[in-house]
Amino acid sequence: MTNPRTILIGGATGRQGSALINALLSTPDIQSKYVILALTRDATSPKAQSLLSRSPKIIKVIQGDLNEPQGIFQRANEFSPDGKVWGVFSMQDKDPKIYPDYLDSPEVKQSFGLIDESVKNGVEYFVYTSGDRGGNEHSWENQTTVPHFRTKYHIERYLLDQIKEDGSTMKWTIFRPVMFYENLQPTFDIKIFMTAYRDILKDKKCQWISTIDIGIFISKAFLNPEEYNGKAISLAADEFTFEELNEKFRKVTGKGVPVTFGLLGKTLGLAARDYQLMLEWFRDDGYNVDLEQCRRIHPQMMSVEEWLREKSVYPKKV
């Protein structure tokens, strides 16, 4: 009997990591196929312990610092039934600070380190979530003017370059999701962001997706690595203008998209220049995901209306 494959999942208690774990746990006979190593900064946190309680036979929570990837792999190899990590899921939080040299970004440093250690430790399959920059093909060459999009461009390039330079046989897949429905929270900072979004994009459509569906896409790759090997796929589930989104909010909640005074929306560029540049890029260039391709892979993707009705925290219209 062969040992189950061990998957190291970065950001396991975050939106994408937990969505991936949920998707994997819904797979028939998962216990005989995979061991999930859930990487978190604090293994004793309520989120980490809740994750462990989901399926303690399959999930092992390991504590680690992405700034010290060597230590992560030492612990991961100890937890693995066969002493090695078969697959790695990599995603890093973006840093709101703008770095003149992208190499100084913690996101880049952590990503590069995890890639290096994955190659060194003989990982067989590496999945990275990046971000769309204009469609499957255009994203390869388009760094964009957005700092936290440019970092992902360089991380993608580094992944492929390191595999080639090392002569590694490590398989890889890159997913490039767009804006998350889950960003639409009833908080004041999101009110400011959506006010700027409305005023900058006007009647320009933008593409969105749920992190729940991103997790399902990633799980499909881990379950079928040969099918997804060597592919970079942009992900989106819905597209709409601000006013179309506003109407969907009214239909489901009885109220429009939470916004604030237009003057406060204009302060976004002062407080968070990275997000201002992103909104301007949405307006001038923008996402260009093949929605039909995504639906062929995952026909049950949620529309924003379905997400608002079934998953959001907003009170529903009576």
Rounded distance, CA 22 to CA 25, Å?
5
Please tell me whether the overall predicted TM-score, pTM, comes out greater than 0.75 for this model. yes
User: Do the beta carbons of residue 282 and residue 204 sit within 8 Å?
Assistant: yes
Give the CATH number of domain 5-179+210-236; options: 3.30.160.620, 3.40.309.10, 3.40.50.2300, 3.40.50.720.
Answer: 3.40.50.720
Taking 3-state DSSP, the helix, strand and coil percentages for the chain, each rounded to the nearest 5, stand at 50, 15, 35
Residue carrying structure tokens 């997790």: 215
Q: What is the pLDDT along the chain (318 residues), one digit of tens a residue?
A: 578 999 999 999 999 999 999 999 999 888 889 999 999 999 999 999 999 998 989 999 999 999 999 999 999 999 999 999 999 999 998 877 888 888 899 999 999 999 999 999 999 999 999 999 999 999 999 999 999 999 999 999 999 999 999 999 999 999 999 999 999 999 999 999 999 999 999 999 999 999 999 999 999 999 999 999 999 999 999 999 999 999 999 999 999 999 998 888 788 776 788 999 999 999 999 999 999 999 999 999 999 999 999 999 999 997
Rounded distance, CA 260 to CA 85, Å?
48
User: Do the beta carbons of residue 116 and residue 97 sit within 8 Å?
Assistant: no
3-state secondary structure of 288: coil
Closest residue by Cα to residue 224 from 122, 125, 309: 125
3-state secondary structure of 212: helix
